[in-house]
C-alpha cells in the first residue's frame, strides 16, 4: 500500500500554491503578503520533508515510479532553502524595477514543486512531468519584466527552444523504452550491460534535451538574449 505520508511535502506545496492563487485573486495589493506566506510555506515544507523522511530506508511508491530515500530528502531540503533565499534576495531588486507582483513567488513555488518531483522520480515519465512543470514556471519568469522588449524576446525564444528540447528528450526516452521495454530507472540500469550501445543513443538525446533546458553551453543561446538592467543602469 502506498504511503502517502512520504509525498505529503509535495501535496502540501501543491495545495499551498492553489491557496495563494485564490488569495491573490480576491485580495488586492497582496504582493507583500503572498511573499511572506510563500517564505513560511517553504520553511514548513522543509520541516515536513525532514520529519516525514527522517530515519526511513529507501522506499518505492506508485508502482516503483517514485523513490524516497536520504539523498532525495536531502536534495529536496536544499532546493527548498535555495528557493527561500531566492525570494529573500530578489525582493528588493523586484521592487526597484517595479515588477514586484503576486505571480513571482507563486511561480517560484511551482518551479520548486517540479524540482521536487524530479528529485524523487524513479521513472522517465515522472521525471519528464517534473521537468515540464518546472519549465512552465521558468518560461513565465523569463518574460516577467514585460516592459523590456528583450525580456519578452528571450522568454519566447526560450519557450521555442525548450519545445525543441522536449522533443529530443522524449525521443531519447522512447529509444530507451524501445530497447529496454521499461521506463523504470532500476530496470534500465540492470539492462545497461546487455544493451549498452543501444541505450547510449537514448541517453545522448536525453542529455541534449536537458542541456537545452538548463541553458548549458553550447545550448545557452536564449540566456545571451537578455540581461535585466541593474538599478544603477536604470538610474
Does residue 235 surpass a pLDDT of 50?
no
Cβ 118 vs Cβ 84: under 8 Å: no
Residue 199 within any structural domain of the chain: yes
For residue 151, how many C-alpha atoms fall within 13 Å in the half-sphere facing its CB?
Answer: 13
Span 106-154, pLDDT tens digits: 999 999 999 999 999 999 999 999 999 998 888 888 888 877 777 777 7
* C-alpha cell at position 91: 525582493
Q: Which structural domain, as residue segments, surrounds residue 7?
A: 1-123
Claim to verify: residue 3 and residue 111 sit in the same structural domain = yes
Paired strand residues for 66 = 61, 121
131 occurs within a structural domain:
no
Q: What average pLDDT does the structure give for the chain?
A: 84
Same domain, 6 and 105: yes
Q: In the prediction, which pLDDT does 63 show?
A: 87
Q: Assign 17 to helix, strand or coil.
A: helix
Do 104 and 147 lie in one domain? The reply is no
pLDDT of 4 strictly over 60: yes
- Torsions phi, psi for 193 (to 5 deg): -70, -40
Residue 3 has pLDDT above 80, yes or no: no
Q: Is the pLDDT of residue 20 over 90?
A: yes
Helix (H, G, I), strand (E, B) or coil at 61: strand
- Give yes or no: residues 18 and 105 share one domain: yes
Q: Is residue 78 part of a domain?
A: yes
Q: In this structure, are 81 and 175 located in the same domain?
A: no
Q: Are residues 94 and 174 located together in one domain of the fold? A: no
Distance of CA 222 to the CA centre of its chain: 18
- pLDDT tens figures, 173-216: 998 998 888 899 988 888 877 766 778 888 888 988 888 877 77
The CA-CA-CA angle for residues 110, 111, 112, to 5°, reads 90
Question: Are residues 115 and 172 part of one domain?
Answer: no
Give the total number of structural domains in the chain. 2
Radius of gyration of the chain (CA): 19
Q: Model confidence over 62-114: pLDDT tens digits? A: 888 899 888 888 999 999 999 999 999 988 888 888 888 888 999 999 999 99
16 and 110 both lie in a single domain:
yes
For the chain, the farthest-separated pair of C-alpha atoms sits apart, in whole angstroms, at 62
pTM to 2 decimal places: 0.86
Residues 147 and 119 in one domain: no
| pLDDT value of residue 44 | 94
Same domain, 152 and 233: yes
- Residue 100 CA, chain-centre distance (Å), reads 21
**Does residue 53 lie in a domain region?**
yes
Please count the helices (runs of H) and the strands (runs of E) in the chain: 9, 2
Instruction: Write down the residue that cell numbers 523504470 correspond to.
Output: 184
Looking at the structure, tell me whether residues 154 and 95 fall in a common domain: no
Q: Are residues 103 and 2 both part of a single domain?
A: yes
**How many other CB atoms are there within 10 angstroms of residue 34's CB atom?**
23
* Residue 135 placed within a domain: no
Last residue of a domain, one of 94, 123, 152: 123
Amino acid at each position: 500500500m502506498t504511503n502517502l505520508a512520504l509525498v505529503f511535502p509535495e501535496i502540501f506545496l501543491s495545495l499551498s500554491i492553489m491557496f495563494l492563487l485564490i488569495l491573490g485573486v480576491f485580495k488586492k495589493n497582496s504582493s507583500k503578503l503572498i511573499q511572506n506566506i510563500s517564505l513560511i510555506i517553504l520553511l514548513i515544507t522543509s520541516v515536513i520533508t525532514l520529519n516525514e523522511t527522517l530515519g526511513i530506508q529507501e522506499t518505492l511508491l506508485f508502482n516503483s515510479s517514485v523513490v524516497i530515500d536520504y539523498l532525495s530528502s536531502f536534495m529536496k531540503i536544499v532546493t527548498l532553502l535555495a528557493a527561500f533565499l531566492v525570494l529573500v534576495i530578489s525582493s528588493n531588486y523586484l521592487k526597484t524595477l517595479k515588477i514586484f507582483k503576486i505571480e513571482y513567488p507563486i511561480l517560484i513555488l511551482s518551479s520548486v514543486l517540479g524540482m521536487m518531483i524530479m528529485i524523487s522520480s524513479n521513472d522517465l515519465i515522472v521525471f519528464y512531468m517534473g521537468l515540464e512543470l518546472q519549465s512552465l514556471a521558468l518560461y513565465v519568469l523569463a518574460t516577467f519584466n514585460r516592459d523590456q522588449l528583450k525580456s519578452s524576446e528571450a522568454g519566447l525564444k526560450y519557450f521555442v527552444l525548450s519545445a525543441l528540447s522536449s522533443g529530443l528528450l522524449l525521443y531519447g526516452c522512447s529509444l530507451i523504452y524501445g530497447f529496454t521495454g521499461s521506463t523504470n530507472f532500476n530496470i534500465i540500469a540492470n539492462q545497461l550491460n546487455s544493451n549498452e550501445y543501444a541505450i547510449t543513443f537514448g541517453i545522448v538525446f536525453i542529455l541534449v534535451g536537458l542541456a537545452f533546458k538548463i541553458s548549458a553551453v553550447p545550448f545557452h543561446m536564449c540566456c545571451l538574449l537578455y540581461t535585466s538592467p541593474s538599478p544603477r543602469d536604470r538610474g
